[in-house]
Amino acid sequence: MTAGRAAAAAALVLVFAATWAVLDRSEHRPGWLTIEAPVAAVVGQPLEIRVTLKESVEATKIACSLHRAGADRKIRGYLASSGPARPAGGGGTYSFIFEVPEREDMAFASAIIFLSPTGQWRDGTRAVSTKLMPVKRGGAAMENPGLEKTRVYHYMTAAESAAAKAAELRPGRRPSVWVHPVLGALLLAAAALCASKAGRKRPDARPEETRERTVWLAFAAVLAASAVLELSGLVGHLAAWGRRLAQEQNIYDVRKTYQKAIMAAVAASALGLFFLFMRAPRRPGSHRFLWWAGIGLAAYLAVSFVGVLSFHAVDVVRGMTWRGVSPFDAARGAGVLVTLMAAILALRRENDKTST
């Protein structure tokens, strides 16, 4: 027994680590350069962006421009230029100096660096953006922050942006409007069946059956609440609120660490639930249909919760569609269907017992 528990614990840790590693590699962090920048941009003072290209970068031209963002952290437009593109190649270090101007709706600044054989944005081959730097205002008395290595993110070039827009316009690429209503209807049906199963109490019911009724009733409540969230669109508002909270708490730029940890924990928990399910049917008096309903509900909730986290890799999967249905919504629907079928079979089994 001890060896089995140790093996199960090791499997949970392995799944957690593997999920973390896969998500970490999916972030698509640009590895062809490193950037040093100040932690903040000071209005009216020079701002330096120092770029070092890796040896593998081909001979080309490099350009850098400064852009502004509002309190919502969305890039709103051009802010300043460091001059025309200059010749560059692998192993070189290039310094770009900006004078940060004042703008009314400016809360953050970000530098965009791109490579182009002609020096023109339309011919760009690679591009990145730095993490948002808070804008400080204080005139000459404000101390100019020094440089430190900063995070960089992939930024779509003009060609990549055009290709992405063309892909969005293709038939079948957009999620169908009927997905959420169908999921909501399935959730309501499953909730009604679970409530019906919980409402049937036999006079000679054993304490174990009473506890089972309580679990079925809890499933019905969770399914009904999920249907309300699915049909009302409150989940989207909840995700937006979470992003605003992260921004207010100054953890937006480091949120990916928490997202990866939560999703890895969800994956490990799913494996742990599977282990429990494999053991439960072997025990005397265990109820397989109840466990199947729990497995399906847990799958729906886990996938939905991961979707709310809005990690880049998850967003990519959600954007993939086949005939208007994404793998993300298909997985959620499969979880609900498992719960629905488990409730139907449980009711049928109870009817057979009653008739005999």
Q: Do 137 and 191 lie in a common domain?
A: no
In angstroms, rounded to a whole number, what is the distance separating the alpha carbons of residues 306 and 263? Answer: 6
pLDDT at 177: 72
The CA distances from residue 152 to 81, 128, 130, 210, 342, in Å, are 19, 6, 5, 57, 48
Residues 333, 211 within the same domain: yes
Amino acid 286: pLDDT: 46
How many residues make up the chain in this entry? Answer: 356
Tens place of pLDDT per residue across the chain (356 aa): 577 778 777 877 887 787 767 666 666 678 899 999 998 998 888 899 999 999 989 999 999 999 999 887 888 888 988 889 999 998 999 999 998 888 888 889 999 999 999 999 999 999 999 988 999 886 544 555 678 999 888 888 889 888 877 766 555 555 567 788 888 999 999 999 999 887 766 555 566 667 788 888 889 999 999 898 888 877 666 666 666 666 555 555 566 677 677 777 777 777 777 776 666 655 554 477 888 888 888 888 888 877 776 655 566 656 666 666 777 788 888 999 999 998 998 888 777 666 65
Point out the domain boundary residue: 133, 162, 191: 162
Q: What's the rounded Cα separation, in Å, for the pair 113 and 150?
A: 13
* Rounded distance between C-alpha atoms, residue 217 and residue 91, angstroms: 65
Say if residues 339 and 190 touch (Cβ distance below 8 Å). yes
List the structure tokens of 173: 């690429």
| Same domain, residue pair 231 and 108 | no
In this predicted structure, what is the pLDDT of residue 141? 47
Residues facing residue 115 across a β-bridge? 62, 126
| DSSP secondary structure string for all residues of 58-115 | PSEEEEEEEEEE-TT--EEEEEEE--S-EEE-TT-EEEEEEE----TT-SEEEEEEEE
Range of the domain at 291: 179-355
Q: Is residue 23 part of a domain?
A: no
Q: Does residue 266 contact residue 233 with C-beta atoms inside 8 Å?
A: no
In a domain, 301, yes or no: yes
Residue 110 sits in a domain of what CATH number? 2.60.40.2550
Give pLDDT, residue 285: 47
Q: Among 136, 162, 188, which residue terminates a domain?
A: 162
How high is the pLDDT of residue 117? 94
Residue 170, domain member (yes or no): no
Flag whether 174 is in a domain.
no
Residue 263 lies in a domain: yes
Give the chain's domain count. 2
Beta strands 41-42; 133-136: pairing state: parallel
Is there a single domain that holds both residue 57 and residue 120? yes
Domain assignment present for 18: no
> What residues form DSSP beta bridges with 45?
none
211 in any annotated domain: yes
